[in-house]
Amino acid sequence: MTKTEDLGELREMFQKWDINNDGNLSHEEIKTNMAEITQLFSLNEPDILDLLHAADTNKDGNISYDEFLTAAFDKHKLVSEENLEKVFGILDIDGDGSIS
């Protein structure tokens, strides 16, 4: 995958979760989509909330698209290498060791 494709997928995900289309993920929108978020990242709710709290760099209680992208691409904000492997496993649908 290219960075452009990654950005496209992240944008689609963010827009889907941004129910009121205000450009931010509110606490309520995150809660509404929590089942999908936890399934996608194979994390439990407390870990997701910790990750999103860390992503809220301006501490306004919402996740802006910029904060979302930063968290998605900032290795220091990822929970662990183990979680990266879990996400890769989810995306590697055919199990061939690569994501197409």
Number of domains in the chain: 1
**Residue 97 included in any domain:** no
Type and span of the H or E element at 63 = strand 63-64
Name the burial class of residue 28, with classes exposed (0-12), middle (13-18) and buried (19+) by CB atoms within 10 angstroms of its CB: exposed
**Is the per-residue pLDDT at 2 higher than 50?**
no
pLDDT digits (tens, 9 = 90+) for 67-81: 888 877 664 445 556
DSSP 2-54: -HHHHHHHHHHHHHHH-TT-SSEE-HHHHHHTHHHHHHHHT--HHHHHHHHHH
Please state the pTM of the whole predicted model.
Answer: 0.65
Give the CA dihedral 43, 44, 46, 52, nearest 10 degrees: 40
Residue 99 lies in a domain: no
CATH number at residue 21: 1.10.238.10
d(CA 5, CA 65): 16
Cα distance between residue 60 and residue 85, in whole Å: 31
In a domain, 98, yes or no: no
Cα 28 to Cα 63: distance, rounded to the nearest angstrom: 11
* Residue 11 domain-assigned (yes or no): yes
pLDDT digits (tens, 9 = 90+) for 26-45: 999 999 999 888 887 777 88
